[in-house]
Amino acid sequence: MLQVSTYFYDIRPVSHDDSAAVRSGLQVEGMTGVVDDWKLYLILEYCHFTLSYATTANFLHRGEKPRVDMILLLLLDMAKGMLYLHDHKIIHGDLKPENVLLKVDGQSPSRLVAKITDFGLAINLGPTATHVSNISTGTPFYCAPEVPLNGRATQASDVFSFGVVMAEVCSKTPPWINVGGEFHVNPRFPNFGSDMPRAFESLAMRCLQLDLTKRPGFQEIVSSLEGLHRMFREQELPRFRVAH
Protein backbone atom coordinates (compact mmCIF):
# COMPACT_ATOMS: atom_id res chain seq x y z
CA MET A 1 0.00 0.00 0.00
CA LEU A 2 1.44 3.36 -1.06
CA GLN A 3 -0.64 5.43 1.34
CA VAL A 4 0.38 5.91 4.97
CA SER A 5 -1.41 3.29 7.07
CA THR A 6 -3.61 4.22 10.04
CA TYR A 7 -3.32 1.63 12.83
CA PHE A 8 -5.69 3.12 15.40
CA TYR A 9 -7.85 6.16 15.98
CA ASP A 10 -9.84 7.59 18.84
CA ILE A 11 -12.21 10.57 19.14
CA ARG A 12 -12.42 12.26 22.54
CA PRO A 13 -14.64 15.09 23.81
CA VAL A 14 -13.20 18.52 24.42
CA SER A 15 -14.51 21.17 26.83
CA HIS A 16 -13.40 24.65 27.87
CA ASP A 17 -12.45 25.15 31.53
CA ASP A 18 -12.85 28.73 32.79
CA SER A 19 -12.11 27.98 36.43
CA ALA A 20 -9.51 30.06 38.25
CA ALA A 21 -7.48 26.97 39.12
CA VAL A 22 -7.14 25.82 35.51
CA ARG A 23 -6.15 28.33 32.84
CA SER A 24 -4.83 25.97 30.19
CA GLY A 25 -7.79 26.37 27.83
CA LEU A 26 -9.23 23.28 26.20
CA GLN A 27 -9.30 20.11 28.28
CA VAL A 28 -9.45 16.62 26.79
CA GLU A 29 -10.79 14.04 29.22
CA GLY A 30 -13.63 11.70 30.01
CA MET A 31 -15.94 14.53 30.98
CA THR A 32 -19.43 14.79 32.36
CA GLY A 33 -19.84 18.49 31.48
CA VAL A 34 -20.82 20.18 28.24
CA VAL A 35 -18.86 19.04 25.19
CA ASP A 36 -17.61 21.97 23.08
CA ASP A 37 -15.85 19.93 20.41
CA TRP A 38 -14.13 16.65 19.63
CA LYS A 39 -10.44 15.85 19.18
CA LEU A 40 -9.21 13.13 16.83
CA TYR A 41 -6.17 11.04 17.78
CA LEU A 42 -4.40 8.95 15.13
CA ILE A 43 -1.69 6.30 15.37
CA LEU A 44 -0.04 6.19 11.95
CA GLU A 45 2.67 4.20 10.27
CA TYR A 46 6.11 5.65 11.01
CA CYS A 47 7.90 7.29 8.09
CA HIS A 48 11.25 9.03 8.21
CA PHE A 49 10.88 12.34 6.33
CA THR A 50 8.93 14.12 3.61
CA LEU A 51 9.61 14.37 -0.10
CA SER A 52 9.93 18.13 0.45
CA TYR A 53 12.77 17.58 2.95
CA ALA A 54 14.47 15.06 0.66
CA THR A 55 14.39 17.60 -2.16
CA THR A 56 15.72 20.58 -0.21
CA ALA A 57 18.29 18.47 1.67
CA ASN A 58 19.72 17.31 -1.68
CA PHE A 59 18.96 13.60 -1.13
CA LEU A 60 17.66 13.33 -4.68
CA HIS A 61 20.67 15.01 -6.31
CA ARG A 62 24.42 14.66 -6.51
CA GLY A 63 25.36 18.30 -6.40
CA GLU A 64 23.13 19.79 -9.07
CA LYS A 65 22.70 16.56 -11.04
CA PRO A 66 19.47 14.68 -10.32
CA ARG A 67 19.58 11.06 -9.19
CA VAL A 68 17.30 10.02 -12.03
CA ASP A 69 16.84 6.43 -10.90
CA MET A 70 15.68 7.42 -7.39
CA ILE A 71 13.44 10.24 -8.64
CA LEU A 72 11.69 7.94 -11.13
CA LEU A 73 11.12 5.24 -8.51
CA LEU A 74 9.70 7.62 -5.91
CA LEU A 75 7.42 9.29 -8.45
CA LEU A 76 6.33 5.83 -9.58
CA ASP A 77 5.38 4.99 -5.98
CA MET A 78 3.34 8.20 -5.84
CA ALA A 79 1.64 7.52 -9.16
CA LYS A 80 0.67 4.00 -8.09
CA GLY A 81 -0.77 5.36 -4.86
CA MET A 82 -2.77 7.96 -6.76
CA LEU A 83 -3.97 5.33 -9.24
CA TYR A 84 -5.29 3.30 -6.30
CA LEU A 85 -7.14 6.34 -4.94
CA HIS A 86 -8.64 7.23 -8.31
CA ASP A 87 -9.69 3.63 -8.94
CA HIS A 88 -11.64 3.94 -5.68
CA LYS A 89 -13.20 7.27 -6.76
CA ILE A 90 -11.17 9.39 -4.33
CA ILE A 91 -9.69 12.79 -5.20
CA HIS A 92 -6.77 13.65 -2.90
CA GLY A 93 -7.12 17.40 -3.36
CA ASP A 94 -3.79 18.52 -1.85
CA LEU A 95 -0.94 16.62 -3.48
CA LYS A 96 2.41 18.32 -2.81
CA PRO A 97 5.91 17.30 -1.58
CA GLU A 98 4.99 17.99 2.07
CA ASN A 99 2.17 15.44 1.81
CA VAL A 100 4.38 12.64 0.54
CA LEU A 101 6.28 10.75 3.24
CA LEU A 102 9.38 8.66 2.57
CA LYS A 103 10.04 5.48 4.49
CA VAL A 104 13.36 3.66 4.53
CA ASP A 105 12.90 0.20 3.02
CA GLY A 106 15.84 -2.09 2.33
CA GLN A 107 13.75 -4.15 -0.09
CA SER A 108 13.12 -1.21 -2.41
CA PRO A 109 15.60 -0.58 -5.25
CA SER A 110 15.86 3.07 -4.13
CA ARG A 111 16.00 2.08 -0.42
CA LEU A 112 13.01 4.39 0.05
CA VAL A 113 9.27 4.06 -0.47
CA ALA A 114 7.05 7.08 -1.10
CA LYS A 115 3.68 7.10 0.68
CA ILE A 116 0.86 9.59 0.24
CA THR A 117 -0.58 11.18 3.36
CA ASP A 118 -2.84 14.01 4.61
CA PHE A 119 -6.31 13.22 3.32
CA GLY A 120 -7.90 16.19 5.08
CA LEU A 121 -9.08 17.63 1.75
CA ALA A 122 -9.82 14.30 0.08
CA ILE A 123 -13.15 13.94 -1.70
CA ASN A 124 -15.00 10.66 -2.21
CA LEU A 125 -16.83 10.83 -5.54
CA GLY A 126 -20.16 9.11 -5.98
CA PRO A 127 -20.24 5.99 -8.14
CA THR A 128 -21.23 7.95 -11.26
CA ALA A 129 -19.73 11.38 -10.46
CA THR A 130 -16.88 12.83 -12.51
CA HIS A 131 -16.24 16.03 -10.52
CA VAL A 132 -17.11 17.99 -7.41
CA SER A 133 -18.29 21.61 -7.59
CA ASN A 134 -17.99 24.53 -5.16
CA ILE A 135 -14.47 23.55 -4.13
CA SER A 136 -12.09 26.34 -3.11
CA THR A 137 -9.43 24.44 -1.18
CA GLY A 138 -5.95 23.22 -2.03
CA THR A 139 -2.45 24.62 -1.64
CA PRO A 140 -1.72 27.61 -3.91
CA PHE A 141 0.87 26.92 -6.65
CA TYR A 142 0.12 23.17 -6.46
CA CYS A 143 -3.62 23.01 -7.10
CA ALA A 144 -4.96 22.96 -10.65
CA PRO A 145 -6.16 26.34 -11.99
CA GLU A 146 -9.75 25.16 -12.44
CA VAL A 147 -10.08 24.61 -8.68
CA PRO A 148 -9.81 28.27 -7.52
CA LEU A 149 -11.19 29.68 -10.79
CA ASN A 150 -14.27 27.51 -11.21
CA GLY A 151 -14.57 25.70 -7.88
CA ARG A 152 -14.39 22.43 -9.78
CA ALA A 153 -12.22 19.48 -8.71
CA THR A 154 -11.72 16.31 -10.73
CA GLN A 155 -9.23 13.48 -10.80
CA ALA A 156 -7.43 15.55 -13.45
CA SER A 157 -6.87 18.18 -10.75
CA ASP A 158 -4.70 15.66 -8.88
CA VAL A 159 -2.81 15.00 -12.13
CA PHE A 160 -1.93 18.70 -12.43
CA SER A 161 -0.57 18.69 -8.86
CA PHE A 162 1.47 15.59 -9.69
CA GLY A 163 2.99 17.44 -12.66
CA VAL A 164 4.04 20.27 -10.35
CA VAL A 165 5.72 17.75 -8.03
CA MET A 166 7.49 16.08 -10.98
CA ALA A 167 9.04 19.38 -12.06
CA GLU A 168 9.97 20.44 -8.54
CA VAL A 169 11.73 17.29 -7.36
CA CYS A 170 13.87 16.84 -10.48
CA SER A 171 15.21 20.41 -10.49
CA LYS A 172 14.83 21.56 -6.87
CA THR A 173 12.83 24.50 -8.29
CA PRO A 174 9.58 25.10 -6.37
CA PRO A 175 6.61 26.71 -8.14
CA TRP A 176 6.75 29.67 -5.74
CA ILE A 177 9.24 32.26 -4.53
CA ASN A 178 9.19 34.28 -1.32
CA VAL A 179 9.62 38.01 -1.95
CA GLY A 180 9.58 40.10 1.19
CA GLY A 181 7.38 37.61 3.01
CA GLU A 182 4.91 37.35 0.12
CA PHE A 183 4.65 34.31 -2.13
CA HIS A 184 4.61 34.70 -5.90
CA VAL A 185 4.78 32.42 -8.93
CA ASN A 186 8.37 31.38 -9.59
CA PRO A 187 9.33 32.69 -13.07
CA ARG A 188 11.84 29.83 -13.38
CA PHE A 189 9.11 27.18 -12.98
CA PRO A 190 8.79 24.66 -14.53
CA ASN A 191 12.49 23.87 -14.87
CA PHE A 192 13.69 20.36 -15.73
CA GLY A 193 17.39 20.93 -16.33
CA SER A 194 19.39 19.12 -19.00
CA ASP A 195 19.89 15.80 -17.19
CA MET A 196 16.31 14.52 -17.09
CA PRO A 197 15.06 12.55 -20.10
CA ARG A 198 13.01 14.49 -22.60
CA ALA A 199 10.15 11.99 -22.24
CA PHE A 200 10.02 12.88 -18.53
CA GLU A 201 9.67 16.57 -19.31
CA SER A 202 7.01 15.82 -21.92
CA LEU A 203 4.98 13.75 -19.43
CA ALA A 204 5.18 16.46 -16.76
CA MET A 205 4.11 19.16 -19.22
CA ARG A 206 1.12 17.07 -20.27
CA CYS A 207 0.12 16.85 -16.60
CA LEU A 208 0.38 20.65 -16.42
CA GLN A 209 -1.95 21.27 -19.35
CA LEU A 210 -4.46 24.03 -18.61
CA ASP A 211 -7.06 22.02 -20.53
CA LEU A 212 -7.84 19.26 -18.05
CA THR A 213 -9.14 16.97 -20.82
CA LYS A 214 -5.61 16.81 -22.25
CA ARG A 215 -3.99 15.61 -19.02
CA PRO A 216 -3.10 11.90 -18.80
CA GLY A 217 -4.69 9.62 -16.23
CA PHE A 218 -2.60 7.89 -13.58
CA GLN A 219 -2.75 4.54 -15.38
CA GLU A 220 -0.89 6.18 -18.29
CA ILE A 221 1.44 8.02 -15.91
CA VAL A 222 2.38 4.76 -14.18
CA SER A 223 3.05 3.05 -17.52
CA SER A 224 5.14 5.99 -18.75
CA LEU A 225 7.26 6.14 -15.59
CA GLU A 226 7.79 2.38 -15.68
CA GLY A 227 8.96 2.68 -19.29
CA LEU A 228 11.30 5.54 -18.43
CA HIS A 229 12.78 3.56 -15.56
CA ARG A 230 13.35 0.52 -17.77
CA MET A 231 15.17 2.70 -20.31
CA PHE A 232 17.28 4.23 -17.57
CA ARG A 233 18.27 0.81 -16.24
CA GLU A 234 19.18 -0.33 -19.74
CA GLN A 235 21.45 2.71 -20.20
CA GLU A 236 19.32 4.03 -23.07
CA LEU A 237 18.54 7.43 -21.60
CA PRO A 238 21.11 9.46 -23.65
CA ARG A 239 18.81 9.13 -26.67
CA PHE A 240 16.07 10.90 -24.70
CA ARG A 241 18.01 13.82 -23.26
CA VAL A 242 16.91 17.37 -24.00
CA ALA A 243 18.96 18.88 -26.82
CA HIS A 244 20.46 22.34 -26.30
Per-residue exposure over 192-221, b if at least 16 CB sit within 10 Å of its own CB, e if not: bbebbbebbbebbebbbbeebeebbebeeb
CB 69 within 8 A of CB 197: no
Please say if 10 is a catalytic residue: no
Query: Rounded to whole angstroms, how far apart are CA atoms 180 and 182?
Result: 6
The long-range contacts involving 63-69, CB below 8 angstroms and separated by at least 24 positions, are 64/193, 65/195, 66/170, 66/171, 66/193, 66/195, 66/196, 68/195, 68/196, 68/197, 68/232, 68/237, 69/109, 69/110, 69/229, 69/232, 69/233
Catalytic hit among 10, 18, 69, 94: 94
Query: Rounded to whole angstroms, how far apart are CA atoms 21 and 14?
Result: 18
Distance of CA 79 to the CA centre of its chain: 10
Query: Rounded to whole angstroms, how far apart are CA atoms 72 and 202?
Result: 14
In sequence order, what are the beta bridge partners of 10? 41
Active site residues: 94
